[in-house]
């Protein structure tokens, strides 16, 4: 607590938060009065509560504050918390404070997810487990969310998506539904998630240098990156650009318009489900035996890298995965960038990824055998 030398009734409170520091100025008649007011005015009283006094909502809120989550991730967290709190209020209305929560209650709540995949259970319990760990570390309470038996086994193994199949599918969809080709190419040969592809805009594409920027609303900081892409993706993007209504009519292109557009020339936007449905129909028309889902196209690059013995930290970063080692975090050039305007500064780094990711891909695409499939064989 600091008192102004010029104004005796002006005080500044400085306090340490979970991340960084906070400051607040208040007016008070004396040092003692300022000290008495400070906790309530800055809202510090709740965070100074002991373990036994911490309400469920306060515990979840404090745990969320010390995480680094994007908008969508935070929204999912809050949805899971709300669902758990509603269940708790219905079955254990007395459990208003964190210290009253018990392991058997969590096991009972877990049973409400019977028949669901381990991934669904894990995501639903993520806020509970992280908050339990936070309360244990910060307040010395017992971590009650351990050994719940959620498991990590996938309900359905990820689809194996092979490079030759993706190339064939792109040729197929490019002829039948050309407006879908760019999105499928971005997913299959650049490793973008479905919504990353539908959100991509032309101001984040550099066709001359073969670069695309994934930014805006992303899952985490490592999804935000600038990556070089193979020639087959550039071809699809050039065709998509040539089909733009503005380009055809007057040659004037709105750079912030979406890359992946509907047949009518409109962005999918929040209706990315329509893009997914259209792509699903084309996958079934091309080869119904494979059973791919549109999001499975992204599996092509990790499948290819694993089969070729190339899967490493460099490939993981190219795909936007968080690094798992000190080496990957500090010694591999980052693909993350504020904008494509930094391309010159990233030149050496991008060459690094071109050599280790793009060259093997381009080589495999060029030597791909042309095999005609007859009667399903």
Most confident region among 37-41, 213-217, 306-310 by mean pLDDT = 306-310
Q: What is the mean pLDDT of the chain?
A: 83
**Residue partners of 129: CB distance under 8 A and separation at least 6:** 145, 146, 148
Beta bridge partners of 206: 211
Question: Higher confidence at residue 26 or residue 217?
Answer: 26
Which value, to the nearest 10 degrees, does the dihedral of the CA atoms of residues 324, 292, 306, 69 take?
-10
At 107 the pLDDT is 94
Tokens representing 11?
């005080």
- Could you tell me which residue, 272 or 327, shows the higher pLDDT? 272
Q: Cβ distance 350 to 211 under 8 Å?
A: yes
pLDDT at 368 exceeding the cut of 70: no
pLDDT band at 243 (very low <50, low <70, confident <90, very high): confident
- The stretch 104-129 carries a mean pLDDT of 92
Task: Centre a 10 Å sphere on the Cβ of residue 285 and count the other Cβ atoms it contains.
Answer: 12
Predicted confidence band of residue 47 (pLDDT cuts 50, 70, 90): very low
Mean pLDDT, residues 217-234? 81
From the list 328, 307, 319, the residue with the least C-alpha distance to 357 is 319
Structure tokens at 100: 């009253």
Report CA Rg, the chain.
26
Q: Give the range among 62-66, 253-257, 317-321 with minimum mean pLDDT.
A: 253-257
Evaluate whether 132 touches 145 at the Cβ level (below 8 Å).
Answer: yes
Cβ-based neighbours of 125, under 8 Å, separated by 6 or more: 80, 106, 110, 145, 148, 150
Average confidence (pLDDT) over 30-54 = 72
What's the confidence (pLDDT) of residue 41?
65
Mean pLDDT of 66-74: 78
Binned at pLDDT 50, 70 and 90, residue 42 comes out as low
Supply the pLDDT for residue 296: 93
Span 345-365, pLDDT tens digits: 667 678 878 888 899 999 888
**Which residue did the predictor score with more confidence, 81 or 373?**
81
Q: What's the pLDDT tens digit per position in 260-304?
A: 998 888 888 777 889 999 999 999 999 988 889 999 999 999 999
Q: What is the mean pLDDT of residues 43-69?
A: 76
């Amino acid at each position: 607590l600091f008192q102004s030398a010029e104004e005796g009734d002006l005080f500044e409170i400085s306090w340490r938060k979970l991340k960084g520091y906070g400051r607040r100025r208040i007016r008070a008649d004396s040092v003692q009065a300022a000290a008495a007011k400070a906790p309530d005015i800055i809202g510090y009283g709740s965070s100074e509560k002991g373990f036994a006094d911490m309400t469920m909502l306060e515990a979840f809120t404090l745990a969320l504050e010390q995480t680094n989550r994007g908008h969508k991730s935070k929204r999912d967290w809050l949805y899971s918390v709300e669902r758990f709190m509603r269940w708790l209020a219905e079955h254990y209305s007395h459990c208003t404070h964190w210290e009253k929560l018990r392991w058997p209650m969590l096991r009972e709540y877990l049973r409400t997810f019977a028949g669901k995949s381990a991934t669904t259970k894990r995501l639903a319990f993520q806020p509970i487990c992280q908050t339990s760990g936070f309360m244990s570390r910060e307040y010395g309470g017992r971590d009650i969310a351990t050994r719940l038996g959620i498991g990590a086994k996938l309900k359905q193994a990820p689809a194996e998506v092979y490079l030759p199949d993706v190339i064939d599918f792109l040729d197929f969809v490019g002829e039948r539904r050309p407006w879908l080709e760019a999105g499928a190419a971005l997913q299959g040969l650049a490793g973008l998630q479905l919504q990353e592809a539908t959100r991509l805009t032309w101001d984040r594409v550099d066709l001359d240098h073969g670069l695309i920027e994934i930014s805006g609303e992303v899952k985490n900081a490592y999804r935000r990156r600038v990556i070089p892409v193979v020639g087959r993706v550039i071809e699809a993007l050039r065709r998509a650009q040539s089909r733009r209504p503005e380009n055809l009519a007057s040659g004037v292109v709105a750079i912030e318009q979406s890359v992946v557009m509907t047949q009518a020339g409109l962005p999918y936007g929040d209706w990315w489900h329509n893009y997914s449905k259209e792509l699903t129909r084309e996958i079934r028309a091309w080869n119904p035996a494979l059973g791919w889902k549109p999001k499975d196209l992204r599996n092509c690059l990790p499948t290819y890298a694993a089969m070729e013995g190339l899967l490493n930290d460099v490939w993981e970063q190219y795909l936007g995965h968080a690094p798992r080692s000190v080496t990957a975090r500090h010694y591999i050039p980052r693909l993350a960038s504020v904008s494509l305007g930094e391309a010159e500064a990233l030149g050496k780094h991008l060459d690094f990824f071109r050599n280790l990711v793009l060259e093997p891909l381009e080589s495999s695409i060029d030597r791909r055998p042309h095999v005609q499939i007859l009667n399903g064989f």
